[in-house]
Amino acid sequence: MSDTEKCIICGGVAETLIDRSNLYNYCFYNCPNCGDFYVSQKFYHKEPQALEEVRRHAAVISGYIREMNEMGHHGKCLTNTSWVSILDDKLVPKTLDEKAIKLLQYVARHMGRTSEPVNLYHGERPAICYGSSKDEVLLLIGMMAENGYLKPQGDGFYILTEKGREFLENKETAAM
Ligand SMILES: [Zn+2]
């Protein structure tokens, strides 16, 4: 049996699909913002305070799960102990600049070789760049467009410019 309710992490999106029947001890979530993940039943039912903590760090947790999904690691599992380690993971951006790079990486990844414009959902899916709100995502999109790294294509779609690609490559080389 599947049903829909708000995502337990980001809380935002109503069309989140939840399957409680597949695996006895876990709920499977498919959130348009976070992506696919599991939550142990024990965590869900017995750890309301820890779940509160997860929600407090929603930007980091949903951003991380999203990035894992993007990298092909679907079905990350949240338990009352596993979620804490996400906060210190080296993938997690600490500054606005680092979030901007996540945004450019997202666009680069989704443009692929086809160079098709990428939907940034008018900021409605903040997990794509670990955004803490729609406004923060819109700010980042605006900054990157102003710098000439992203170019709007209408209706929330963007492409990464040549300048953006070079900027990203320099940042990625510097990070190695
Ligand atoms: Zn979510």
* Sheet hosting strand 76-78, strand order edge to edge: 2-4, 17-23, 26-31, 35-40, 76-78
Half-sphere exposure of 1 (CA within 13 A, CB side): 3
CA of 127 to the centre of ligand 1 (A): 8
Tell me the percentage of the chain whose pLDDT exceeds 90.
59
Which of 148 and 81 is assigned the larger pLDDT? Answer: 148
User: What number does CATH give the domain 96-175?
Assistant: 1.10.10.10
> For 18-69, how does the pLDDT look when each residue is reduced to its tens digit (9 = 90+)?
676 655 677 888 899 999 888 888 787 777 788 888 999 999 999 999 999 9
Whole-number pLDDT of residue 132: 94
Whole-number pLDDT of residue 1: 46
CA of 162 to the centre of ligand 1 (A): 32
CA of 25 to the centre of ligand 1 (A): 20
Domain boundaries, the chain: 2-87, 96-175
CA of 3 to the centre of ligand 1 (A): 15
Sequence-separated (6 or more) residues with CB below 8 Å from residue 107: 118, 120, 150, 158, 159, 160, 164
